Amino acid sequence: MQARGGIDLGGTKIQAVVVDARNAVRGEARRPTPTKGGPQDVANAMSEAMADAAELAGVETDSLQGVGVGSPGAVDQATGEVSQARNLPGWEGTFGLGPQLSDALGTNVALGNDVDVATDGEFELGVGKPFDSLLGVFWGTGVGGGVILNGERWTGRGAAGEIGHMVVKENGRRCPCGRLGCMEAYAGRSAMEHKARREVEKGRKTSLFKIMEKRGRDRLTSGIWWRAVKHEDKLAIELIDQAIEAIATATASAVNLLDIEAVVIGGGLGTRFGEPYVKRIAKAMQPHLFSDDRPPKIEVAALGDLGGAIGASLLVAR
């Protein structure tokens, strides 16, 4: 079997896959992203997840054609170094993630930006296939964006796609990035958790943290938000409503600027909440669309939770 590996390094979890030559998933495994320690601990968890995925696929990691990694932070594709990966523990500096993983796994490792590889995955293998221009919105710990124009990724001077930091409210809520009124300040999992904690401190009731403890977690994962909303927790519903409104507003602004054909909503929260919530985003965009008689297609990421890892595996094929 001509197999390739792909790892999606997220702020909440590490997802590894092994795919065959036709991009079908032959094995997959995950680890929670370490919240303590440093880059080496994260690299170890990544190697373990990859080894598990390979075992399930019935291959050794050193027989893989290579492993692609979608990483947050600033990625140097030439050296395999990752810098300033906020949301990851002790990763303010630079760490040679590529060489480390390559040693541990015994195969080549290619690095890319997490959101870029997820966008490429959806564009090449997922719901993006029929379109020439596309906006990927990855609703997870943060909210990342990928822009495809004329069938190619648009990176600008290297930092394009920061849809999470488009402003939805002048002088609005403080974002984890430090700025005011960013979309991510309302929609990012991390920002939403921060807001929920502040509301609890102010005396509001919520089942969010009870569910978290019951499930032995130390943060509000997408699954916990989902469960709380399903059980009609008022605070969870309110914060998810605000998130939907913020995503819709920023996405509509992006559509007014670029008039792209389609929007793909992915990421941990995006795939967990799925179709009904993506429909709500589409509906909330409508009043902001300048060409409102011709909205773009709004779709849930087809590769689902594995999209980032499958997209990362495409780095090897190149």
Q: Contact with a second copy (CB under 8 A): which of 258, 280, 302, 304?
A: 258
Residue 84 interacting with a second copy (CB under 8 A): no
Contact 193, 203 (CB under 8 A): no
**Spacing of C-alpha 31 from chain mean position:** 15
Residue 215 interacting with a second copy (CB under 8 A): no
Residue 288 interacting with a second copy (CB under 8 A): yes
Residue 245 interacting with a second copy (CB under 8 A): yes
Residue 232 interacting with a second copy (CB under 8 A): no
Q: Taking the complex as a whole, how short is the minimal distance between the CB of residue 220 and a second copy, in angstroms? A: 23
Residue 69 interacting with a second copy (CB under 8 A): no
Q: Contact with a second copy (CB under 8 A): which of 23, 197, 261, 280?
A: 261
Considering only residues 289 to 318 of the shown chain, the ones binding a second copy according to CB under 8 A are 290-291, 294
Contact 243, 281 (CB under 8 A): no
Stretch that binds a second copy, among 6-14, 60-68, 196-204, 245-253 (CB under 8 A): 245-253
The separation between the first and the last C-alpha atoms of the chain, rounded to the nearest angstrom, is 18
Q: Which strand (E) or helix (H) includes residue 25? A: strand 25-32
Residue 104 interacting with a second copy (CB under 8 A): no
Tokens standing for residue 122: 């959806």
Q: 46: closest CA among 119, 97, 116? A: 97
Q: Taking the complex as a whole, how short is the minimal distance between the CB of residue 160 and a second copy, in angstroms? A: 4
Residue 147 interacting with a second copy (CB under 8 A): yes
CB 246: neighbour CB atoms within 10 A?
28
**Nearest 10 degrees: Cα torsion 154, 113, 67, 303:** -70
Residue 130 interacting with a second copy (CB under 8 A): no
Contact 52, 7 (CB under 8 A): no
3-class DSSP state of 91: coil
Considering only residues 163 to 202 of the shown chain, the ones binding a second copy according to CB under 8 A are 163, 165-170, 172, 177, 179-180
CB 305: neighbour CB atoms within 10 A?
20
Tokens standing for residue 131: 């379109």
Q: Taking the complex as a whole, how short is the minimal distance between the CB of residue 103 and a second copy, in angstroms? A: 32
The string over 19-45, giving b where at least 16 C-beta atoms fall within 10 Å of a residue's C-beta and e elsewhere, is: beeebebbbbbbbebbeeeebebbbbb
The smaller minimum CB distance to a second copy, of residues 218 and 259, is found at 259
Q: Taking the complex as a whole, how short is the minimal distance between the CB of residue 173 and a second copy, in angstroms? A: 11
Residues that bind a second copy (CB under 8 A): 133, 145, 147, 149, 154-163, 165-170, 172, 177, 179-180, 245-246, 249-250, 252-254, 256-261, 287-288, 290-291, 294
